[in-house]
Amino acid sequence: VTLYIPRDAVALGLGANKVARALFAGAERRGLDVTIVRTGSRGLFWLEPMVEVATKEGRVAYGPVTLKDVDDLLDAGLTTGGDHALRLGDPETIPFLAKQQRLTFHRCGVIDPVSVEDYRAHGGYRGLENALKLDAEGIVAAVRESGLRGRGGAGFPAGIKWNTVMLAKSEQKYVVCNADEGDSGTFADRMMMEGDPFNLIEGMTIAAVATGATRGYIYLRSEYPQAFETLKEAIVNGVKAGVLGENILGSGKTFHLEVRLGAGAYICGEETSLLESLEGKRGIVRAKPPIPALKGFLGKPTLVNNVMTFTAVPWILENGAKAYADYGMGRSLGTLPIQLAGNIKHGGLIELAFGITLREVIEEYGGGTRSGRPVRAVQVGGPLGAYFPDHLLDTPLDYEAMAAQKGLVGHGGIVVFDDTVDMAAQARFAFEFCATESCGKCTPCRIGATRGVETMDKVIAGIRPEANLKLVEDLCEVMTDGSLCAMGGLTPMPVMSAITHFPEDFRRAGDLPA
Ligand code: NAI
Ligand code: SF4
């Protein structure tokens, strides 16, 4: 009997290793022959650790399984899909999962992440095989026609970036994956790297073939030790299986891939400081132009994309640009891996076509707040994203629609707050976060963030709140217009959205003298 137990960081945090060991030992005591495959997570975090068993009728899931359930489950016939209070049935029929459009995450939680064989048995490498039949222009055209936009947050058309690198003349070019997923409430990159790393590797390989790069790096945040181990194992297996390194799939093409660890700086997720860090230097933002597509790693043309951008590509090359562009709305095409977190009953990963509203995500998938209290604020797009009040929750997740409400999609992270949240404290936190994480290169951000914390402290203490709020607004204008990168440039977004949508939280204290 084969059991599937995630080795994803969330499942591990909830005791998946202990459950796996106990299940194995318990099965042995009962004389049952079990093989345990460690998978990624399907992203239904409130059900983790979720254990699945292969039966004649397909997979049957149980969850959340704790150590004390193990004997009970084995006695109830877990290995044959037997009945139990924790039995969830076919995991694919759980509404949270069944309603999704998993183009990029369909293998995550299903396969053995480090097995090339398992990956290929589930459709892997068909995208690269198709890409190898095209010339570079053909691959870039497919990416362009799919409408794929950079999933790191900026939403820049991927096809245009790929084209820029493809056309750049250089002896050496590079492909770099930004896996420094630093936004609060985001975990899509991590889940993918832990659950289906070959999807990323295949996407990067297609990018290398298209742009003429022969070397690639995955810049991974050091806070992801499981992803680090999984990626390293996958790369070694990939080279052995002939899908990485020299003569990929017998095509004569070369692509050498390495994983590099960051050291815990948020700003190293900004592409130019990421490249500085990759070169072994301190992660300080470079002025653009030149753009990395022309002058990036070691001064050479470099394609920098986020994990989610690369992992969308194999599906596009396998199924066609048109099929991908059929999902989504307006200029936001394809699917968005939404990460639902914060005060939410059912947190996890929801991959859906662009266009679903925030309210639908929170109510239909998330099941409302975990505390059972009303939703008051929702922050979308990480710590630099806007806080939306109830009346904006019908905004669809679409780059332009979110921007029209002075918000952003970002990397697709949604963090929910109930009515106990103090929005003045959240505005102060945005400045504090910026002060801590600023690289210090430009004055509006380096000095502005610290002045912002001080001024917000005065507002919160009730010291001339009206005058000090005006100062905060002026400061936000300077930071928006004068910062060199998105760190300082977008910090005003959470601050101003909190002031605009939740003014009552900023004017509670009395007007004390300065
Ligand atoms: P950007 O708009 O400056 O650039 C977007 C991308 O397009 C860059 O890779 C840039 O080099 C490229 N580009 C621009 N013009 C080009 C051209 N003509 N040809 C080829 N490539 C071109 O935005 P930036 O600063 O890269 O990203 C800001 C975004 O990052 C924010 O909107 C925010 O949502 C997001 N973000 C994401 C985080 C995460 O953890 N994923 C964390 C913090 C911010
Ligand atoms: Fe550095 Fe902040 Fe300026 Fe960005 S905005 S370059 S993080 S100081």
- ipTM score of complex: 0.96
- Most informative mutation of 285, 431, 479 for ligand 2 (most atoms within 8 A of CB): 285
C-alpha of residue 287 to centroid of ligand 2, in Å: 10
- Most informative mutation of 140, 156, 441 for ligand 1 (most atoms within 8 A of CB): 156
Locate the ligand 2 atom nearest the alpha carbon of residue 439 and give its number: 1
Q: Whose CA is closest to atom 3 on ligand 2? A: 442
**What does the pLDDT look like over 57-88, one tens digit per residue?**
999 999 999 999 999 999 999 999 999 999 99
C-alpha of residue 389 to centroid of ligand 2, in Å: 29
Cα–Cα distances in Å, from 124 out to 119, 203, 258? 5, 11, 20
Q: Whose CA is closest to atom 7 on ligand 1? A: 156
**Do β-strands 51-55 and 58-62 pair in parallel, antiparallel, or remain unpaired?**
antiparallel
Count Cβ atoms within 10 A of the Cβ of residue 492 and give its class: 0-12 exposed, 13-18 middle, 19 or more buried: buried
Cβ(382) to ligand 1 under 6 A?
yes
Determine the Cα–Cα distance for residues 6 and 50; give it in Å rounded to an integer: 7
C-alpha of residue 223 to centroid of ligand 1, in Å: 22
297 Cβ neighbours under 8 A, 6+ residues apart: 174, 176, 217, 275, 278, 279
In order of start, what are the domains of the chain with their CATH numbers?
A: 2-98 (3.40.30.10), 116-325 (3.40.50.11540), 328-418 (3.10.20.600), 423-506 (1.20.1440.230)
3-state DSSP assignment of residue 291 = coil
3-state DSSP assignment of residue 512 = strand
Determine the Cα–Cα distance for residues 48 and 63; give it in Å rounded to an integer: 6
Whole-model pTM above 0.80?
yes
Rg value, the chain, Cα? 24
- Most informative mutation of 268, 441, 490 for ligand 2 (most atoms within 8 A of CB): 441
Give the orientation angle of helix 465-482 with respect to helix 492-501, to 10 degrees.
Answer: 140
Q: Buried (b) or exposed (e) across 267-294, using 16+ Cβ within 10 A? A: bbbbbbbbbbbbeeeebbbbeeeebbbb
Cβ(136) to ligand 1 under 6 A?
no
DSSP for residue 509: S
C-alpha of residue 61 to centroid of ligand 1, in Å: 40
The secondary structure element, H or E, covering residue 417 is: strand 413-418
C-alpha of residue 455 to centroid of ligand 1, in Å: 30
Residue 294 tokens read as 């022309």
3-state DSSP assignment of residue 256 = strand
Query: Virtual CA dihedral for 66, 69, 70, 71, nearest 10 degrees?
Result: 160
Cβ(488) to ligand 1 under 6 A?
no
Cα 185 vs. chain centroid, distance in angstroms?
A: 9
Ligand closest in space to the Cα of 304: 1
Ligand closest in space to the Cα of 288: 1
Determine the Cα–Cα distance for residues 482 and 133; give it in Å rounded to an integer: 47
- Most informative mutation of 143, 149, 161, 434 for ligand 1 (most atoms within 8 A of CB): 161
Residue ranges, the chain, pLDDT below 50: 512-514
C-alpha of residue 150 to centroid of ligand 1, in Å: 8
Determine the Cα–Cα distance for residues 289 and 421; give it in Å rounded to an integer: 41
Q: Whose CA is closest to atom 4 on ligand 2? A: 485
Contact indicator for 511, 464 with CB cutoff of 8 Å = yes
Cβ(49) to ligand 1 under 6 A?
no
> Bridge partners of 2?
35
The reported pLDDT for the residue numbered 509 is 54
Ligand closest in space to the Cα of 443: 2
Cβ(485) to ligand 1 under 6 A?
yes
Ligand closest in space to the Cα of 439: 2
